[in-house]
Amino acid sequence: MTAIAANSNLDRWWNSRTARRFMSHHLALLGMVMIALLTLACVLGPYLLPYDSLYIDLRARFAPPLTGSHYLGTDPLGRDVAARLFMAGRISLLVGFSAMLLSTLIGTLVGVIAGYRGGWLGMALMRTVDGFLSFPSIFLVLALAAALKPSPIMITVVIAVSSWMEVARIVEAEVRSLREREFVQAGRMLGLSGTHIMFREILPNAIGPIIVAATLTVARAILMEAYISFLGYGIQPPLPSWGNMLNGAQQYLGTAPWLAIIPGAAITIAVTSFNFIGDGLRDAFDVRGD
C-alpha cells in the first residue's frame, strides 16, 4: 500500500513542472553527473587500482602523475595519490553528506516546531538560532575540534552543529506561512494532534526549500571538513581526507605541485557540483521561473 503510494508520488514528481524545470537547468545536470561520477569513482576506484592507499613504497617517492601505474603520481611516502584521493573522497563525501543529514534533521525539527507553535517556545528556539549564528562558525568548529578527540563521526557532528541554523530559519518561515493555510485549519478541525499536523500535513509542503538548503549544506560541509582537516584538527592521518592531503602537500608545493592540485581539484569539483545542483533545485521549486 505505502509502496504504491510512494511510487505514484515519484511518478507525479517525475512528470511535474518542477522536474521539467530541473531537467532543463544544464549546470544542475552537469553537477548531478559530476557528483555521480565522483561517488562512483570513490566507491569503486580503490578496488580497481593496483595500490592500497596505505601501502608505502619509499623507492617510488614523488613520482609525478602517469608514472607506471601510479596514474596520479605518489606522495612523499611513495603512497599512490589516486588510491588516497578516492579513499579520501569516501571520507570527505561521507562526512559532508552525514553532516548535511544531521544538520537538516536538527534544523527542520527546530524550524517546524518554532514555526508552528510560535509563542514563547518559537521565540526561544529562534533566539537560540540567532545565538548560534552569531558565533563565527569556523572558530566554533575549530574550538570544538581542538577540545574533542577528532574522529570522522566527531567531525560530522561538529560540522552539523554549526550549520543547522540556516535550515531552521528557512523552515520556520515556510511553516509560519503554511500554518495559516486552510488545510492546516482543516486538520485542526478534524482533531488531529499537533505533531501529526506539523510533520504529516505541513512538512511535506515545505520539502522543496528544505531539499535546496540541504544540497547547499553538503557543499558547505565538504568545504568545512577540508578546512578543519587542512588546519590539522580534522581527520587525522594516516586516514586520508581531501583536507589533510592538502595539508601534507604544503611543503612540496614547488617540487610536487600535483599533491596539492589533485585533492584541490576534487574539492572544487564536489563543491561547485553541489552548488549547481542546489541552484538548479532552487530554480525548479520557484514557481515564478515558469
What are the residues binding another protein (CB under 8 A)?
A: 5, 8, 12, 181-183, 185-193, 196, 200-201, 204-205
Instruction: Name the minimum Å distance from CB 13 to another protein.
Output: 11
Of the pair 134, 182, the CB lying nearest another protein is at 182
- How far lies 266's CA from each of 68, 78, 270, in Å? 22, 20, 6
- Outline where DSSP puts E strands in 48-125: none
Written as nine digits, the cell of 273 is 557540483
Instruction: Name the minimum Å distance from CB 109 to another protein.
Output: 19
Of the pair 127, 188, the CB lying nearest another protein is at 188
Instruction: Name the minimum Å distance from CB 117 to another protein.
Output: 12
Of the pair 95, 178, the CB lying nearest another protein is at 178
Torsion over CA of 178, 183, 184 and 190, rounded to 10 degrees?
-170
Instruction: Name the minimum Å distance from CB 202 to another protein.
Output: 9
Instruction: Name the minimum Å distance from CB 206 to another protein.
Output: 10
> In the 8-state DSSP scheme, what is residue 243?
H
Instruction: Name the minimum Å distance from CB 16 to another protein.
Output: 10
In 118-163, alpha helices (H) = 119-134, 137-147, 152-161
Is the sign of the CA dihedral 217, 221, 222, 227 positive or negative?
positive
Residue 80, SS3 per DSSP: strand
Of the pair 44, 181, the CB lying nearest another protein is at 181
Torsion over CA of 101, 102, 105 and 108, rounded to 10 degrees?
-100
Q: Name beta bridge partners: 222.
A: none
Of the pair 204, 237, the CB lying nearest another protein is at 204
Angle at 17 between CA 15 and CA 18, to 5 degrees: 100
Of the pair 55, 183, the CB lying nearest another protein is at 183
Residue in this structure with the C-alpha cell 563521526, named with its chain if needed: 153
